[in-house]
Every structure is written in structure tokens, then in C-alpha cells.
Amino acid sequence: MSYFRVQLHRSAIGLNKKTNEILRTLGLRKRGSVVYHNITAPTAGKILAVKELVRVKLVDEKLTKQEHNATMKSNPGYYVVKQEGH
């Protein structure tokens, strides 16, 4: 089954009450938060209503919060190798 992966990309500060209600019904509270929804017509309509504020991807499976956090962790870019004999 496929899902919408919806991420709040822009803040809703200063926008009208209807837009804030739509974001709340989608489950988006803070900027950068991610939620997964089944692909349905009502959900697609809500996403279209706030399309300027969110980023949407189609994914095959939901990630748990721990799995999502693990994907967001950056690579340090270097590794310290201990040399023996010095």
C-alpha cells in the first residue's frame, strides 16, 4: 500500500484560521514535522489546500519515528583511525 509522506516545509504563522485548521487535521504542528497518510481523496484535497507550505512524496511504507530520525542523522564526513606503534 502506498502513502503520502507530508512534511511541513514553511511556517503557517500569520496565515488564516482555515489554513491552520487544515494543517492541524493533517497532523502537522511544527515546521519540519513529517506525517504519513493513506492515499485518499479527502487527504489529497487537504494537501492541495496547503500545497505551498508542504512537501509531499509517495512512499511504499510508513517509517516509525525512530526509523525517520535515523535517516535524518548526518554522516560526520570523517573517521578517526587510531594508529598503532606511534
Render pLDDT for 7-63 as a digit per residue (tens, 0 to 9).
Answer: 999 999 999 999 999 999 999 999 999 999 999 999 999 999 999 999 999 999 998
Q: Residue 70 above 90 pLDDT?
A: no
Q: What is the pLDDT of residue 21?
A: 96
Q: What is the pLDDT of residue 86?
A: 62
Helix (H, G, I), strand (E, B) or coil at 57: strand
Domain ranges in the chain are 3-63
Q: Which fold has domain 3-63?
A: Ribosomal Protein L30; Chain: A, (3.30.1390)
Overall pTM surpassing 0.75 (yes/no): yes
Beta bridge partners of 56: 6
CB burial readout 56-79, b (16+ within 10 A) else e: eeeeeeeeeeeeeeeeeeeeeeee
How far apart are the C-alpha atoms of 39 and 2, rounded to whole Å? Answer: 7
| Helix (H), strand (E) at residue 21 | helix 17-26
